[in-house]
């Protein structure tokens, strides 16, 4: 990199950590910003960012009477979701990234993306965003710094992570002890899909993302750090970084079981995490407490249990389908201080999306007068960004430095056929096989065709930062003397009848499945064995919103179709053959 003079406005030093200052200098020399701003995470800073974005049109003010502190961002129409085909894991050895990732040699990747970064921040401000993934005082938390030229990203990072002064202090403290922080460099570039890359360098604990301003492509604390880089670190350090929600299920007796659940993108994590139990359960005293809705870091504790934290501090949730009937907690959460991205607008400037209610929107997600001929009014991957603390079911245990002990792990996918409403794995190794075999129909959370069935092991296909064979072996390794592992289950809310409609009512009714799961953990419910695993006994799970024949279809398992599914799973495992543990072979 060329040595260039510092721009006038650049502070001599933004941090007590030389390694951080040097890196910021190095990036500034490459990207040539007009200004550098070190984020302190304060309210005043957020207000100034928002004011700037309102002035230049990056944000649009929503109806402040109905939605105080809420704004709309319309992204570039070519930049609306994660881009898996442009996402790379750049390890020295190609095989370490595995067939589950796109790979590029680190030197080649740096050269390719640095050429794009060259001078890209001219006329822009370079923001330095120190952040902590997890409770600020938790030994399970990990820190990073994102450098970005997008004020929208800075504002989203402030809602999604613990940013600012406290995070910087921890980074400096740890840096003095030689502990590295994850370095994430981001620029929106020209938002040109042909000049877009999301590069990960797990061996260097660094990320370089260019050409997108959307979600997981740009908020680097989320998928890039907390899943791809963290999964790599977790393997080395003996823990798990997973695409899972975490909820606490409190029984009428006041006992709380924590459950972690891995469903692929747009397959129901946020909804399950914020579930409101049906009236009859509420009356008895059942409660759901939300710890996290997307990512879970689990560490084995001294007691042999897995202890989990949610590394995030906010939700980047799917808007379409969110309503007073499906997810009232989410709706209550996003009534104020929320950034909406790519939703539609009503005539009185309120955010709107398909499934919210029966109003007719005035403008679609691109700001055009709404015309059904143009497709849905809200983009199918339109989202809200909001602080987790605003959720009525938010649990203070999300701030617990020790995390919460996990009683059950639940895998699940979007499967129109075959996979039953719920089953339990016979033991840990079987549970790992169930997770590794997961299938799900693709959704709008990533670009590409939707509704295509693909294997998505542990919901980590787009997010595991290393070879799936090594990953499955890592999962199996937790079964060791002294371990008190969670029981493993599999659910499917998305079975369809011959008329194409969902057989199971889902949402709040999923409480009935959670209760069965916790009942199994406590030894209160019997089960019957089947090809796929342990099924509930007939009548153990019923719903007033599910007719008897639908219930029988959705809770049962068609053994005649199992051999074909198993053959398909074997074919999928074949791709990881060279590193596949014998137990999964």
Residues of this chain that interact with ligand GTP (CB under 6 A) are 263, 265-271, 293-294, 317-318, 320-321, 326, 445, 493-494, 502, 506-507, 510
When asked if residue 420 is in the footprint of ligand SPV (CB under 6 A), the reply is: no
Q: How far apart are CA 308 and CA 329, in angstroms?
A: 23
Report helix, strand and coil shares of the chain as percent, to nearest 5. Answer: 30, 25, 45
Encoded one letter per residue, x for contact with ligand SPV by CB under 6 A and - for no contact, window 304-343 reads ------------x---------------------------
Nearer to ligand SPV, 21 or 326 (CB): 326
Q: How far apart are CA 188 and CA 147, in angstroms?
A: 11
Cβ count near 503 (within 10 Å): 23
Strands annotated E in 492-530: 527-529
Tokens of 199: 């590069």
When asked if residue 445 is in the footprint of ligand SPV (CB under 6 A), the reply is: yes
Q: Which does 506 bind (CB under 5 to 8 A by kind): ligand GTP, Mn ion, ligand SPV, none?
A: ligand GTP
Strands annotated E in 229-371: 240-242, 245-250, 256-262, 287-292, 296-300, 306-309, 314-318, 339-341, 344-345, 351-352
Q: Which single residue is written with the structure tokens 């994102």? A: 146
Q: Which does 390 bind (CB under 5 to 8 A by kind): ligand GTP, ligand SPV, Mn ion, none?
A: none
* Largest interatomic CA distance in the chain: 74
Interface residue with ligand SPV among 84, 146, 294, 441 (CB under 6 A) is: 294
Residues present in the chain in total: 585
Q: Which does 415 bind (CB under 5 to 8 A by kind): Mn ion, ligand SPV, ligand GTP, none?
A: none
Q: Annotated catalytic, 267? A: yes
CB of 420 to ligand SPV, least distance (A): 24
When asked if residue 223 is in the footprint of ligand SPV (CB under 6 A), the reply is: yes
CB of 265 to ligand GTP, least distance (A): 3
Strands annotated E in 215-326: 240-242, 245-250, 256-262, 287-292, 296-300, 306-309, 314-318
Nearer to ligand SPV, 125 or 156 (CB): 156
When asked if residue 148 is in the footprint of ligand SPV (CB under 6 A), the reply is: no
Residue 371, CA atoms < 13 Å, CB-side half-sphere? 6
Nearer to Mn ion, 294 or 399 (CB): 294
CB of 227 to ligand GTP, least distance (A): 11
Strand 71-73 and strand 339-341: the pairing is parallel
Nearer to ligand SPV, 425 or 444 (CB): 444
Q: Which does 84 bind (CB under 5 to 8 A by kind): Mn ion, ligand SPV, ligand GTP, none?
A: none
Tokens of 269: 């994590």
Strand, coil or helix: what is 195?
helix
CB of 280 to Mn ion, least distance (A): 31
Q: Which does 220 bind (CB under 5 to 8 A by kind): ligand GTP, Mn ion, ligand SPV, none?
A: none
Q: How far apart are CA 434 and CA 455, in angstroms?
A: 11
Nearer to ligand GTP, 270 or 390 (CB): 270
Residue 344, CA atoms < 13 Å, CB-side half-sphere? 27
When asked if residue 432 is in the footprint of ligand SPV (CB under 6 A), the reply is: no
Region from 89-97, 214-222, 255-263, 529-537 binding ligand SPV, contact rule CB under 6 A: 214-222
When asked if residue 399 is in the footprint of ligand SPV (CB under 6 A), the reply is: no
Q: Which does 320 bind (CB under 5 to 8 A by kind): ligand GTP, Mn ion, ligand SPV, none?
A: ligand GTP
CB of 550 to ligand GTP, least distance (A): 13
Q: How far apart are CA 536 and CA 4, in angstroms?
A: 68
When asked if residue 124 is in the footprint of ligand SPV (CB under 6 A), the reply is: no
Q: Which of 529, 531, 530 is nearest to 562 (CA)?
A: 531
- Give the single-character DSSP code of 368: S
Tokens of 480: 């060791």
Q: Which does 216 bind (CB under 5 to 8 A by kind): Mn ion, ligand SPV, ligand GTP, none?
A: ligand SPV
**Distances 438 to 48, 72, 124, 374, 565 between C-alpha atoms, Å:** 45, 35, 44, 34, 11
Strand partners, 132: 143, 162
Q: Which does 493 bind (CB under 5 to 8 A by kind): ligand GTP, ligand SPV, Mn ion, none?
A: ligand GTP
Which residue of the chain is nearest Mn ion when measured via CB?
A: 294
The CA-based dihedral angle spanning residues 385, 55, 149, 117, taken in that order and rounded to the nearest 10 degrees: 130
Tokens of 121: 């921040």
Nearer to Mn ion, 31 or 265 (CB): 265
Nearer to ligand SPV, 175 or 457 (CB): 457
* Active-site option among 70, 90, 132, 267: 267
Residues identified as active-site? 267
Binding site for ligand SPV (CB under 6 A): 82, 215-216, 222-223, 265, 294, 316, 445
């Amino acid at each position: 990199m060329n040595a260039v003079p510092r721009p006038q406005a650049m502070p001599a030093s933004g941090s007590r950590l030389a390694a951080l200052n040097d890196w910021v200098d190095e990036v500034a020399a490459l990207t040539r910003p007009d200004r550098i701003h070190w984020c302190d995470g304060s309210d005043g800073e957020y207000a100034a960012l928002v004011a700037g974005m309102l002035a230049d049109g990056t944000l649009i003010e929503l109806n402040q009477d109905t939605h105080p502190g809420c704004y709309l961002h319309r992204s570039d129409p070519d930049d609306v979701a994660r881009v898996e085909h442009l996402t790379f894991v750049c390890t020295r050895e190609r095989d370490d990234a595995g067939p589950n990732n796109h790979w590029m040699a680190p030197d080649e990747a740096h050269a390719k993306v640095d050429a794009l970064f060259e001078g890209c921040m001219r006329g822009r401000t370079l923001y330095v965003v120190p952040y902590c993934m997890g409770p600020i005082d938790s030994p399970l938390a990990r820190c990073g710094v994102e450098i970005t030229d997008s004020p929208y990203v800075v504002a989203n990072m402030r809602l999604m992570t613990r940013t600012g002064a406290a995070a910087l202090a921890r980074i400096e403290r740890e840096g003095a002890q030689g502990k590295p922080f994850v370095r994430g460099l981001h620029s929106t570039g020209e938002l040109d899909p042909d000049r877009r890359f999301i590069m990960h360098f797990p061996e260097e604990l660094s990320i370089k993302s260019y050409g997108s301003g959307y979600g997981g492509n740009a908020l680097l604390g989320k998928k890039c750090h907390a899943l791809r880089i963290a999964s790599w670190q977790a393997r080395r350090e003996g823990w798990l970084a997973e695409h899972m929600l975490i909820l606490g299920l409190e029984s009428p007796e006041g006992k709380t079981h924590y459950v972690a659940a891995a469903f692929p993108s747009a397959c129901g994590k946020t909804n399950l995490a914020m579930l409101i139990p049906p009236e009859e359960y509420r009356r008895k005293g059942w409660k759901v407490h939300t710890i996290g809705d997307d990512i879970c870091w689990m560490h084995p504790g001294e007691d042999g249990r897995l202890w989990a934290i949610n590394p995030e501090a906010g939700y980047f949730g799917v808007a379409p389908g969110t309503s007073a009937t499906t997810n009232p907690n989410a709706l209550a959460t996003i009534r104020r201080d929320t950034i909406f991205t790519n939703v539609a607008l009503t005539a009185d400037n309120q955010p709107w999306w398909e499934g919210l209610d029966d109003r007719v929107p005035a403008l679609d997600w691109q700001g055009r007068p709404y015309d059904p001929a143009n497709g849905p009014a809200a983009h199918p991957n339109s989202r809200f960004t909001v602080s987790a603390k605003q959720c009525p079911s938010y649990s203070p245990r999300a701030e617990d430095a020790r995390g919460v002990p996990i009683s059950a792990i639940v895998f699940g996918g979007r499967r129109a056929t075959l996979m039953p409403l719920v089953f339990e794995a016979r033991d840990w190794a079987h549970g790992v096989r169930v997770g590794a075999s997961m299938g799900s129909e693709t959704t709008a959370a990533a670009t590409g065709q939707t509704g295509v069935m693909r294997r998505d092991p542990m919901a980590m296909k787009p997010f595991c930062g290393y070879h799936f064979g090594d990953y499955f072996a890592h999962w199996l390794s937790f079964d060791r003397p002294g371990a008190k592992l969670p029981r493993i289950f599999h659910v499917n809310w998305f079975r369809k009848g011959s008329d194409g409609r969902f057989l199971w009512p889902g949402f709040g009714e999923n409480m009935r499945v959670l209760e069965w799961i916790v009942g199994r953990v406590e030894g209160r419910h019997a089960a019957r064995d089947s090809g796929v695993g342990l099924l509930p006994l007939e009548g153990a799970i019923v719903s007033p919103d599910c007719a008897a024949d639908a219930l029988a279809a959705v809770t049962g398992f068609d053994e005649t179709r199992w051999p074909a599914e198993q053959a398909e799973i074997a074919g999928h495992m074949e791709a990881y053959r060279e590193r596949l543990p014998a137990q999964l072979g």
